[in-house]
């Protein structure tokens, strides 16, 4: 089914995370119990919901999982890790201290002390998600990175923990894992920030603990929007849409193009390639969530893409670079049909943890600065103190805050 641009515009403009009141309520109960009872509640929920008590998985087992991997997979994991690391090393992390009339003004940049990374269990063991959150945290200089992943933790995830240099790993999942990381329990140390995607319960829990801890963002189902011109290969486009679609029935693959013949060929390719895809059932449902959209021209396609604010924006264009200037809202941009989103998922370099559900309107993909905080520094000269205090006191009195004004009057 090929939509006209006007048929999707209102839907693109309206979208956003939704919150299920039932999930919110269940999660609230779990968070309160873990906060009040610690490990006892954590184990109770873990047994009830995941069939296992929470346990810390010792490093020895990560190393064994790593050594048990076949050599090629081990090499791929190492390459992915090295590329992510090299990418984030490029992100400047220096603060500054600048002299100002006998004093200084500046910014200190400090890594967070302890970060919790949630790695979902679910239908596919996302070992790449571990690398994509842990490696940037490590490059930023985070003191301790603690991973939570639902039991039984997949050996691939353990091996990735070994490669990435995780500090501690707990077999725990769901809202109870988020609670343990946010509040701390007897066994699980409290973290400063929680990052990583998860299911609806994890997302609800993250939202509810925000403020107690920092967050990278709230992830909804994953999505890809491709803008293509007539130069793009229908086979590659269909394959990329299906790679997106196989994630889950709610993930959204979109293709926007002014070229009707291309859309028709992609539609035919989709049916062909669906056959024989192991996750075809899931992919079919996702394809209904997204769609193919005929636009007037590429400008309209880019405007719609900005309105949608996709997690992944793929520009399958003969000459994509000039269009980059038109990109306003996207979690990550993939230039040209060679730079497949699936390469970004695993090995290109930037973290695949990117904003979904339209949150790319206000944030980009996971970056080094998500693991850093900026601390302003004020060290004024005596002269500046005298001069600024008079004006400061004036502003304080305009606010009716006499105590502030007097503190400054004493320095005039």
Nearer to ligand HSO, 69 or 408 (CB): 69
Q: Is 144 annotated as a binding residue?
A: no
The DSSP letter of residue 235 is H
Least Cα distance to 220 among 242, 199, 249 occurs for 199
Q: Per-residue contact track with ligand HSO, 266 to 305, x per CB under 6 A?
A: ----------------------------------------
**17 φ, ψ to 5°?**
-60, 140
Q: How far is the CB of 56 from Zn ion (least distance, A)?
A: 29
Tell me: does residue 81 bind ligand HSO (CB under 6 A): no
Q: How far is the CB of 257 from ligand HSO (least distance, A)?
A: 22
Tell me if 273 sits within 8 A of 243, measured CB to CB.
Answer: no
The residue length of the chain stands at: 412
Query: Any idea which residue has 């979904």 for tokens?
Result: 356
Residues 6+ apart with CB under 8 A from 286: 244, 245, 246, 247, 248, 249, 250, 251, 252, 253
Tell me: does residue 229 bind Zn ion (CB under 5 A): no
Tell me: does residue 240 bind ligand HSO (CB under 6 A): no
Tell me: does residue 129 bind ligand HSO (CB under 6 A): yes
Nearer to ligand HSO, 127 or 263 (CB): 127
Q: Is 176 annotated as a binding residue?
A: yes
Tell me: does residue 345 bind Zn ion (CB under 5 A): yes
Number of CB atoms found within 10 A of residue 27's CB? 26
- Report the site for ligand HSO in 165-204 (rule: CB under 6 A): none
223 is catalytic: no
Q: Which stretch binds ligand HSO (CB under 6 A): 8-16, 18-26, 88-96, 122-130?
A: 122-130
- Alpha-carbon torsion, ordered 10, 206, 118, 218, to 10 deg: 20
Q: Which stretch binds Zn ion (CB under 5 A): 146-154, 213-221, 342-350, 378-386?
A: 342-350
Determine the size of the site formed for Zn ion (CB under 5 A).
1
Cis peptide before 152 (omega within 30 of 0): yes
Both structure tokens of 388: 């600024």
Q: How far is the CB of 65 from ligand HSO (least distance, A)?
A: 18
Residues 6+ apart with CB under 8 A from 395: none
Pairing of the two strands 103-111 and 96-100: antiparallel
311 is catalytic: yes
One-character DSSP codes across 87-131: HHHTS----EEEEETTEEEEEEEEE-SEEEEE---SSS--HHHHH
Contacting ligand HSO (CB under 6 A), which of 43, 240, 269, 345? 345
Both structure tokens of 60: 């020895």
Q: Which does 128 bind (CB under 5 to 8 A by kind): ligand HSO, Zn ion, none?
A: ligand HSO
Q: Which of 154, 246, 312, 337 is the catalytic position?
A: 312
Q: Which of 311, 337, 341, 352 is the catalytic position?
A: 311
Q: Which stretch binds ligand HSO (CB under 6 A): 30-38, 126-134, 272-280, 379-387?
A: 126-134
Tell me: does residue 222 bind ligand HSO (CB under 6 A): yes
Both structure tokens of 371: 């693991």
Q: Is 4 annotated as a binding residue?
A: no
Tell me: does residue 138 bind ligand HSO (CB under 6 A): no
Tell me: does residue 252 bind Zn ion (CB under 5 A): no
Both structure tokens of 73: 């997979």
Distance between CA atoms of 290 and 276, rounded to whole angstroms? Answer: 21
Binding site for substrate: residue ranges? Answer: 222, 244, 247, 312, 345, 399, 404
The residues assigned a catalytic role are 311-312
Binding site for ligand HSO (CB under 6 A): 126, 128-129, 222, 345, 352, 354
Binding site for NAD(+): residue ranges? Answer: 118, 176, 199
Binding site for Zn ion (CB under 5 A): 345
């Amino acid at each position: 089914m090929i939509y006209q641009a006007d048929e999707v515009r209102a839907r693109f403009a309206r979208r956003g995370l939704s919150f299920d009141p039932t999930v919110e309520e269940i999660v609230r109960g779990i968070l309160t119990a873990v906060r009040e009872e610690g490990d006892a509640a954590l184990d109770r929920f873990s047994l009830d919901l995941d069939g296992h008590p929470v346990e810390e998985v010792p490093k020895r087992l990560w190393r064994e999982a790593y050594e048990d991997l076949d050599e090629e997979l081990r090499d791929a994991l190492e390459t992915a890790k090295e590329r992510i690391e090299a990418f984030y090393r490029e992100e400047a992390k220096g603060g500054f201290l600048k002299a100002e009339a006998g004093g200084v003004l500046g910014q200190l940049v400090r890594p967070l002390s302890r970060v919790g990374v949630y790695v979902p269990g679910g239908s596919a063991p996302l070992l790449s998600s571990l690398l994509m959150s842990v490696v940037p945290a490590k490059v930023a200089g985070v003191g301790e990175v603690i991973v939570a992943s639902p039991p039984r933790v997949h050996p691939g995830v353990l091996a990735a923990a070994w490669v990435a240099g995780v500090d501690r790993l707990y077999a725990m999942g769901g809202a109870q894992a988020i609670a343990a990381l946010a509040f701390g329990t007897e066994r699980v140390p409290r973290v400063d920030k929680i990052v990583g995607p998860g299911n609806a319960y994890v997302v609800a829990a993250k939202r509810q603990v925000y403020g107690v801890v920092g967050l990278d963002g709230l992830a909804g189902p994953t999505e890809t929007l491709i803008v293509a011109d007539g130069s793009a290969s229908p086979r590659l486009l269909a394959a990329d849409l299906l790679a997106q679609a196989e994630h889950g029935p709610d993930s959204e693959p979109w293709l926007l193009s002014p070229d009707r013949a291309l859309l028709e060929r992609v539609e035919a390719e989709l049916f062909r390639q669906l056959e024989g895809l192991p996750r075809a059932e899931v992919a079919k449902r996702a394809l209904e969530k997204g769609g193919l959209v005929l636009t007037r021209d590429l400008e309209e396609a880019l405007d719609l893409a900005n309105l949608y604010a996709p997690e992944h924006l793929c520009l399958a264009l003969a000459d994509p670079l000039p269009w980059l200037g038109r990109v306003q809202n996207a979690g990550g941009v993939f230039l040209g049909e060679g730079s497949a989103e699936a390469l970004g998922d695993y090995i290109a370099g930037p973290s695949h943890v990117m904003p979904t559900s339209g949150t790319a309107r206000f944030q980009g993909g996971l970056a080094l600065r998500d693991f850093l905080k900026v601390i302003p520094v004020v060290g004024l000269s005596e002269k500046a103190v005298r001069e600024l205090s008079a004006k400061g006191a004036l502003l304080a009195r305009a606010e009716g805050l006499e105590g502030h004004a007097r503190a400054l009057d004493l320095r005039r």
